[in-house]
A and B are shown apart, each in its own frame.
Chain A
């Protein structure tokens, strides 16, 4: 029984949160990695693009709520996502046309483009804060829990409860749907294949008649979709605050690099690698061992490898370890 209790405790505080957080990172990391693979620069504005998309999801949610549309038990934000995506796509294409395309045509080095993306980051940062303000926004509605800790306890008679938030399940479901469509698109359709070809060898792809404008456009569209979906899911699960979205850029980048930058599947898995290590390492195992060990060995400290304040240190250490031992990432990406 104690073993089951320990397992439930571990699922409640580590596995379930890490799965949903990992999904959010994974979607974002695919976006970063696609931009890197095809446009060939590290887009520092991506975190703010996520905030931008989420902001519109929130605005549409408010709009739907004000005219009385809701999805019942599901959050209204789901209905708002498609509209937010359209705006995010238009915005990304606009930025590409007026900012990035110039440097792409000039074949500027990646560092210049990264620096330009910092300028874009400042601009989006300002736009988001001017429109919606820098404050915490909670825009979740509908049913909050699928299973409450108490219900679980009653149901199973265990000491530990397992709480599952509906946003966590929602995150997983949406991630599975979006990721399946995306990988189907990249691997099976002609456009997807042309994108991969462009990413692998630009010159060869151009010679075989792939239109670069089209590939770039589709990349931005996918990046904007992923940013909006990942951002909205994160916002639903936790809350929306522009500054947090900027900070999320770091684990997302770490996930993309760990997975081998330029490799979408790697980035997807990298998201979970980062999320799981962050939560596994910063979790306090006191109670976990309380169930597993005999009374005489019971720990009296928290048994926390690292305090939660240092979760950046986890991303960083994984990043450094991977870069030192497998510079192309765990799942072989582009090495240039």
Chain B
């Protein structure tokens, strides 16, 4: 029996793969960054420059006036007369709600931080119980928790609006904090449960035999080990709160409680629109979440994987 002759395979040149990868990466980068870059560029252009056709891709006379206007908006008094007198094209124009931008930043920050803290306080014990304690209704609990998210937010708004209005809590940050908590905690619990389940059960047993109550087992043994998922939860909860729009639209009415997305959205619905100002506001709105996301990038990815930690 003769052995079949094997033709020597022609190796594809190594650099073919690299080129393909670099090309794909470049395309992806452009896709992701181009719109944002344009936003940034626009924010540095004065009103006069921004309305050029075709557009100036890079600001020829970059200016920080837009940002200055945002942060000083509080001092200027915008009356009906002054507003009408200002021509958007000549710059110096501010939307009527501009002065609320900085307070709105503060509101968003307060709400987001409160939601993060409450997410941890409420979610961590619940996740530990579901992951590590055998009790009646354990499986059902997780499904039930996740099921609350199937209903669209709009369906929640109507009854909640009525309830809050009757309680006189309309236009307060608390209405936002509590609703955001309900909206973010299921996902937080999901992430935490996945991570807890990947931690060995026997640690739990060892701790309890060593003298820990259930609560102590959680705080002294599991929490330190679950840090990556906790960071992921904090991140998701913060971003979800910061970015939320619909519920804030419903529950807030004055700058006292309005959050950043509401104010920024209000700029577009003002009578005359100042493009440069809006772009600058947009930039301010995206800076905190983008910084957080990039800084904690690996927690986001690992938070979505069931982390396997071998200590």
A, B co-complexed: no
Residues of chain B at the chain A interface (Cβ within 8 Å): none
Residues of chain A at the chain B interface (Cβ within 8 Å): none
